[in-house]
Amino acid sequence: MTQIRFPRPLAFVFSGGLARSASQIGMCEVANELGIIPDLVVGSSTGAINAAVFAKDPERFGTEARLLWEGVAQDKALSSIWRSTLRGLAGSGSTRTQTMLRKHLHHVFHDMEHGDLSIEFLAVATDLSTGHSAPVRNLNIVDSLIASAAFPVVMAPTPDGGDLLIDGSVVAGVPVGQALAAGAKSIIVFDTGASGVGDDEVISLGWYEVLALAFTHLIRGQADHDLALAAMSVPVVVISQTTGSPFSLRRAVDGIDEGRRLASEVLLEFAPHHGKEYRKIGKPGLYGNYSLEPT
Amino acid sequence: MATPLHVPKPIAATDNSPRGPVQLQACLPRPITFVMAGGGAHGAVQWGLLQALAETDVAADALIGTSAGSLTSAIVGEDPLSALSRLSYVWSQLDLDVLVGDSWVSILSSATKRRRSLADNTTERETLEAILVARSFADLQLPTAAVATDLATGKAKAFDSGDLITALLASSAIPGMLPPVTINGREYIDGLASANLPARLAVERGAGTVIVLDTGSREPVPMSKTPTKVVARVNGILNARQRSAALAFASSRVPTIVLPTPQNLGAALDFRGTMSAASSAYELARTFLSDFAGQYGPKAARADHDLERGLYARRTPYDLDPDLRLQLHSVDAGDHS
C-alpha cells in the first residue's frame, strides 16, 4: 500500500472531550494501519493522555490505551464524574481524584520523562495566571498529564515552578496552534471535543447542566477559531466524533469502534488504494468531516 | 478641610482643539457600528463611554450588544438623542433586586432541585418593560441587534427583528441563574457563552467601522487553588480569549476602535460601584478620543482618506492572546495636564 503523503513534520492533535476521547484510540489505530506515522503528537486534557500512550509506543498503542481506559472505567471512585465534581467542590477531596488518576497513569508510564518517549510529545495545559496555553516541559510524563487534565473543580491545579496549571482544554480544546508553534507543516486532528446537545435533550437540562454547557460552548467557540486559523497556514485533517456522552466514563470504550469507522471514512478518501482516484493533501485548508459554519 | 470636587474640564479647554465636538466621523468608513459587550453591573461602563462619544461628532449608524450591552444598545437605538439622560435614570436604579426580585431568595432551598435556573425572569421582564417603550425591534430608530447563544448548538445568534423584550431576556439569560428563553421553538441563553463581545458579528453584518464599548474588568485577585477562585478565573480567561478572537477577526477587516475601560471594578453582579465605573470610563474614553482624533482624525496630517483597517487602541488594551497577529495602531497618550 502506498503511504498517504503529508507535508512533514506531521502532527497528530488529540482534543479534550472527557469520556468521549476514548474514541481517539480507534481513530489513531486506523491512521496507524494506513501507515500514517506522525513526527509529533500534541494533546490537551484527556487527549493528552492518549497522545502520550501513543508517543510511548505506537505499535502497542491500541492495547495499552484500551487497558488504561478500561482500568479507569472500572475504578468506581474515578468513573463517576459527578462524584469527582462534588469531591472537588468539597475542597479537600480534589487531591483524591488526582491520586487515583495518577495510580492508573503510573501503571503505563512509571517515571518516564519526555525524552523516554519514542515520538516527540507535547501536553498542553492552561497557565492560570497568564490565561495562556502552556506546554508542560518541566514535569515527568505522569505529572504533565495530571496538569493537562486538571479539569476545574474536579481536580486541583498543578504547581509548576511559580505557575499554577489547569486543564489545557480551557484555552486549547483542540491544540492545533500549539502543534503549529512546534513546527508542524500538516495536522491530523482526533476531535472528540464538540460541544452541544440534541434539540430534544436541551429542554430537560437542569440549571447546573445549563451552566456547564455554557462553559463548553465558550471553549468550543475558541477551538473553532483556532482550527480556522491553523487551516489558513497548513493542511488540517479533522476526524470529528460528536456522538457518545462526555460524562459516561464507564461506557467510554464503547466509542472506539465509532472512532474507527469515522477515521476510515475520512482517511481513506486520501489513500491511494484499489487504483481509485484520491485527494492529495498539500494546500492549507480544512479537510475531513468537520466544517466551520459561519456564526 | 473638604476635598475639592473632581470635575473633568471641557476637552476644548485642555488642549488646543477648537470649540465644538472632537472631529472624527469624516475619517470613519460607514456604517459605524457600536459594539457593546456583556458584563452585568459593569455595563455602567458603557454609559460613561457613550458620554465621552457624545463629545465627538461620531454617532452610531447601527448597534449590536450582548447581555447588559444589548439593553444599552436598545436604549440608544430607541432614541439616540435622549439615551444618555435615560441611561442615568437606569443606572441610578438598576440592582440585583430589579433583575431577579424575590425569586432570588428561594435559591438556597431550590439549588439542589432539578430546575432550569436558580431564579426566574419575571422581574427582569417587568424592569425591561419599564425602561423601554419599544416592544419590537421595528420600534427602534437605529438598526439594533441583541446577541444570544443557542443552548443546544452553542452558536451565537443576533436577533434584530420581532419581539424586543424577549430577545433582551434571552441575551441576558445568565446560565444557571436565569432561565433559558424560547424563541421560535429554540432555547437561548446569554450571549456570553458564544459572543460576549460581538465584534465579529458586527463585521459579518456589514459594519464599516467598529467602535468597541467593552465593560472593563475586575481587579486581579491573587490566584489560589480554591475551586470558586479557579472557576471565576477560568471564566475570565475564556472571556478574554473570546474577546481576543473577536477583535482579531474584526480588525483584520475594518478599522476597530477599542475605547479604554476601567480595570479595577468590583464583582460583575455588584451594582454599588456603577456610578464610579461610569465616571472613570468617561474620563478614560474622552482623553483617548481626543488623542485618537489628534493622531488619526480628519485633521491629522496623515489622514487624508478613510482610516485603514486594524485595531486602534491604547498600546496594551487588554491581556491579548500572544498568538494573535494583530495590526495594532497604537493610540498614544497626549499631554492633558
Decide: helix, strand or coil at residue A34.
Answer: coil
Q: How many CA atoms does the CB half-sphere of A125 hold within 13 Å?
A: 29
DSSP B120-166: -SHHHHHHHHHH-S--BGGG-SS-EEEEEEETTT--EEEE-SSBHHH
Least CB–CB distance from B322: residue in A132, A207, A216: A132
Backbone angles phi, psi at B78, to 5 degrees: -70, -45
pLDDT tier at A295, thresholds 50, 70, 90: very low
Whether the predicted pLDDT of A103 surpasses 60 = yes
Mutation for B interface: A210, A224, A232, A291, most B CBs within 10 A: A210
Distance from CA of A89 to the nearest CA of B (A): 6
Decide: helix, strand or coil at residue B186.
Answer: strand
Do residue B175 and residue A225 have CB atoms under 8 angstroms apart?
no
Interface contacts (A, B; CB < 8 Å): 127
Contacting residues of B for A216, CB less than 8 Å apart: 154
Over residues A41-50, mean pLDDT: 96
User: How large is the angle between the packed helices B44-53 and B83-93, nearest 10 degrees?
Assistant: 160
Q: Which amino acid is at B26?
A: A
**Would you give per-residue pLDDT tens digits along chain B (337 residues)?**
678 898 888 776 555 556 678 889 999 999 999 999 999 999 999 999 999 999 999 999 999 999 999 999 999 999 999 999 999 999 999 988 888 877 655 555 555 556 788 888 999 999 999 999 999 999 999 999 999 999 999 999 999 999 999 999 999 999 988 999 999 999 999 999 999 999 999 999 999 999 999 999 887 777 777 877 888 888 888 998 999 999 999 999 999 999 999 998 988 888 999 999 999 999 999 999 999 998 998 877 665 678 999 999 987 656 566 556 678 888 988 865 4
Whether the predicted pLDDT of A208 surpasses 50 = yes
Backbone angles phi, psi at B302, to 5 degrees: -80, -10
Contacting residues of B for A218, CB less than 8 Å apart: 192-194, 238-239, 242
